[in-house]
Amino acid sequence: MSELTISRRGLLAGSALLLASTALPTIGFAQTPKKGGRLVLAADSKPRNLNPAIVASNGVFFISSKIVETLAEASFDGKDGLEPRLALSWEGAADGLSVTFKLRDGVKWHDGKPFTSADVAFSALQIWKPLQNLGRTVFKDLEAVDTPDELTAVFKFAKPTPFQLIRNALPALSSVVPKHIYENGKIEDNPANNAPVGTGPFKFAEYKAGQYYRLTRNDAYWGKDEPYLDEIVYQVLPDRTSAAAALEAEEIQLAAFSAVPLADLDRISKVPGLKVITKGYEGLTYQLVVEINHRRKELADLKVRQAIAHAIDKDFVVKTIFLGYAATATGPVPKNDPQFYTADVPTYPFDVAKANALLDEAGYKRADDGKRFALKLLPAPYFNETKQFGDYLRQALAAIGIDAEIVNNDSAAHIKAVYTDHAFDLAVGPPVFRGDPAISTTILVQSGIPDGVPFSNQGGYKNAELDALIVKASETLDTAARTELYKEFQKKIAADLPLINVAEWSFISVARDTVGNIANNPRWAVSNWADTYLAG
């Protein structure tokens, strides 16, 4: 036990040092930001619903986080990795049944009406809990939000809810929308979903379908002297290869979310006036995962799953597919997570001979044509990298005598095939780690999830011990004990392999040198950009 305490303290100290070091460059480069100017940047997705309170996804945040603010934002150096936005402070009760938020004074909605605790109560009870894709899980026990005064909101939970989870959920899940605009009529059909009204540094100005989104400066923003920019224009460039050309031609000043293909980064980093930035996405880690259908007799055998894990050369994946802009994974929590990650889990080094031996042991001998059995492999179509990994995995499996047939689908068909019809043996998926395993990670392995829930355990995996651990962690209030349970969770997954974590990656920004205050928080691309400026 004492050993554990020491290692945890060591880890905390280590991560604190890391955090401190990330803050250094920003201090070193501090210069007075210039006011004014229009930032033009590349946007590749065209979300129809821009309400981040309903659709908590990065594609929506990328645009609407500048308009609609959350209670708190992620931060490199703030306490618990948070920085105040609409809330100034937050405090959880010891019994886990309530959380009290003190709200910022003098904040106005874009239409001039004052922001109050009633807006927070409305957003939480009417939108986050019943409608939001992620809030449904995190706020499932939220019963009421008391508003003793205009600047205090007290969240009441029916069952004890870990404060750590609520805290970790704030940056992505707590977008506050105005009650007076949403209280009449059906929330999903409200016109403000397409032209959002918020408290943020920028106001929604217009959207020209297929061309651009334009945001203008909110002169009544609460931040002193902020925002610095007059306008933000999202130029819709659906073709990924055109972003690099547009940057070089100075048509755009910024391409976030890896709009410039990884293969072009080496060349573009040498172009004078452009910089490649790998920071600012620490809070948005995507995981490259092999999803497994445990209904297949062969795949229900742990030895076969171990063989597949041994057959994948993770270093090759990171080096060749991600060109080094990724890290190898050991389990369901990414290495860059400061709170939960543990390296103390079973690992599966690249070893084709061992993989072959495991398959022989499991009783799947090679037939005369050298093949053991055939599988259907469905790579998710969302990223080039997931598709390329699908091609790689097919070759890696061929080396151990498994004949994988790739089935390509578009996004909608892929989601239906994997998460509703279960018409797959292996799938390649990119789930997102959102700062706390309870937000969108435990759902990947938990049993009893109804068919059709995307990005959840639809592989028919059932492990009573793991299920019990997940439930226990969701009820454990003590932060240290809860963290310990999630370390146990990582060990169990790495040992039993309900899915195989291959790599973790994030995004890259490319910007002109003139764009200042880039990547100064772990969710920079989806934060409010109040302090972003254009020099010269």
Partner 1 sequence: MNRLRRFLRTPEAIAGALILALLAAMALAAPMLFPGDPQAIAGPALLPPFQDWRLPLGTDRLGRDVLAELFHGARTSLAVGLAAAAAALLIGAVVGTLAGFAGGLIDEVLMRITDAFQTVPSFLLALALVSIVGPSLGAVVAAIALSAWTGPARVARAEVLSIRERDYVAGARVIGMHPLEIAFREVLPNALPPELALSSVIVAAAILTEAALSFLGLGDPNRVTWGGMIAEGRTVLRTAPFLSIVPGVALVLTVLGVYLAGEGVVESTAVRRSLS
Binding stretches for partner 1 (CB under 8 A): 240-241, 244, 261, 263-264, 266-267, 320-321, 381, 384, 388, 390-392, 394-395, 398, 405-408, 410
Dist CA 248 CA 271 (whole Å): 8
Strand duo 202-208 + 402-406: pairing: unpaired
Residue 331: what residue type?
G
Smaller CB separation from partner 1, 353 or 412: 412
Residues ≥6 apart with Cβ < 8 Å to 326:
288, 317, 318, 503, 504, 505, 506
Q: Rounded to an integer, what distance in angstroms lies between the CA atom of residue 282 and that of residue 147? A: 34
CB of 319 to partner 1, least distance (A): 8
CB 241, min distance to partner 1, A: 6
- Do the beta carbons of residue 435 and residue 168 sit within 8 Å? yes
Smallest distance, partner 1 to C-beta of residue 264, A: 6
Query: Which is closer to partner 1, CB of 272 or CB of 450?
Result: 272
Cα–Cα distances (Å) from 435 to 14, 63, 151, 283, 284, in that order, read 18, 21, 27, 7, 8
- Comparing CB distances to partner 1, the nearer of 50 and 317 is 317
Strands 87-92 and 82-84, by their bridges, are unpaired
Q: Closer CB to partner 1, residue 395 or residue 420?
A: 395
In the complex, the smallest distance separating the C-beta of residue 301 from partner 1, rounded to whole angstroms, is 25
| Segment holding 172, helix H or strand E | helix 163-173
Q: How far is the CB of 40 from partner 1 (least distance, A)?
A: 21
**Tokens coding 266:** 């080496």
Q: How far is the CB of 500 from partner 1 (least distance, A)?
A: 19
Q: Which is nearer to partner 1, 91 or 239 (CB)?
A: 239
Question: Which residue number, 151 or 404, has a Cβ lying nearer to partner 1?
Answer: 404
Looking at the Cβ atoms of 261 and 430, the one nearer to partner 1 is 261
Kind of pairing between the strands at 231-236 and 212-217: antiparallel
Q: Is 448 helix (H, G, I), strand (E, B) or coil?
A: coil
Q: Closest separation between CB of residue 245 and partner 1, Å?
A: 8
Q: Is the peptide bond before 227 cis (omega within 30 degrees of 0)?
A: yes
